[in-house]
Amino acid sequence: MFKVFDVHTHTYPEKIADKACFNLGNFYQFEVRGKGTYAHLESQAEENGVGGYLLFSVATNAHQVPKVNDSIAALAEYSRSRGFRTVGYAGMHQDYPDFEGEIMRAKGLGLRGVKIHPDIQGVNIDDPRLLPLYEILEAEDMPLYLHMGDNRLEYQFSSADKLVRVLGMFPRLTVVAAHLGGYKAWDTSVPLLAGRENVFYDTSSALWAMTPERADEIISQLGVENVMFGTDYPVVNTREELERFFRLNLTDAQREDILWNNAVRFLKLED
């Protein structure tokens, strides 16, 4: 069995998980397959070889930011106590008044990067309000994890051309462009992002939206060494996503890299 590190997961407190999953499915107009709780996420680990997670939460307003980060830090610590190689990333909002103060606090909590969901937060990747945040992340060597792409005209906040402008301003900023670089926008995003050494990718919410042959082509363009496995839980369950992954025309060594080695290297974990 291959070891698996899932680099793209969202969980919610049990009392709001059902509502959060409903809202997520309603926003994207798809069926959410998981229950949305950490307990359900972890229940899939043993049968699927999962040894670690990268945990996120989205701050939909500025007031949520500290609470979101406290919650993610506590959950990551709990997950590690359960034997997983789990890492948490902080949430941030474009209107938060003290980026530097909260980033330093988040680092103190053990959070290692920042996740932003431009479409849900209603902010362009290259919005001037976010530029001071990117400057801090670049200086602190903390990665920026971005939801990328959408094929709906009203949700172009995370288009690849906007990320390219940010990379031009912050050439040492490390970025993960989720969903193989652009959810349902691969024809335009992949050519713009491929070949950039400081940009990484995950497979989440991509494999179910394309043929295995198309996924093989995109992974080859982006570079196997820069691609990591992610489920986007609770959008899908681990087993379902692994079944899709193993339909790809990859060598065992390439599978090991995408499923485990690349994440361990990217997150600077001892293997």
Q: Is 36 left (phi over 0), alpha (psi -120 to 50) or beta?
A: left
The per-residue pLDDT for range 16-44, each reduced to its tens digit, is 889 989 988 888 888 889 899 999 999 99
- Establish if 169 belongs to a structural domain: yes
In a domain, 68, yes or no: yes
- The answer to whether position 75 is within a domain reads yes
State mean pLDDT over 122-141: 98
Domain that holds residue 41: 4-266
**Residue 97 falls inside a structural domain:** yes
- Tell me how far apart the alpha carbons of residues 59 and 119 are, in angstroms, rounded to a whole number: 12
Residue carrying the six token digits 């652009």: 182
Residue 121 lies in a domain: yes
The domain that contains 37 carries what CATH number? 3.20.20.140
User: Is the model's pLDDT at 116 over the cut of 90?
Assistant: yes
- 92-108 pLDDT per residue, tens: 999 999 999 999 999 99
Question: What value does the mean pLDDT take over residues 151-156?
Answer: 90
pTM: 0.96
The answer to whether position 271 is within a domain reads: no
Give ∠ CA 31-20-134 in degrees, rounded to 5.
105
Residues facing 202 on adjacent strands:
228
- Into how many domains does the chain fold? 1
Compute the mean pLDDT over every residue in the chain, rounded to the nearest whole number. 95
Residue 95 lies in a domain: yes
Q: Give yes or no for residue 271 having a pLDDT over 80.
A: no
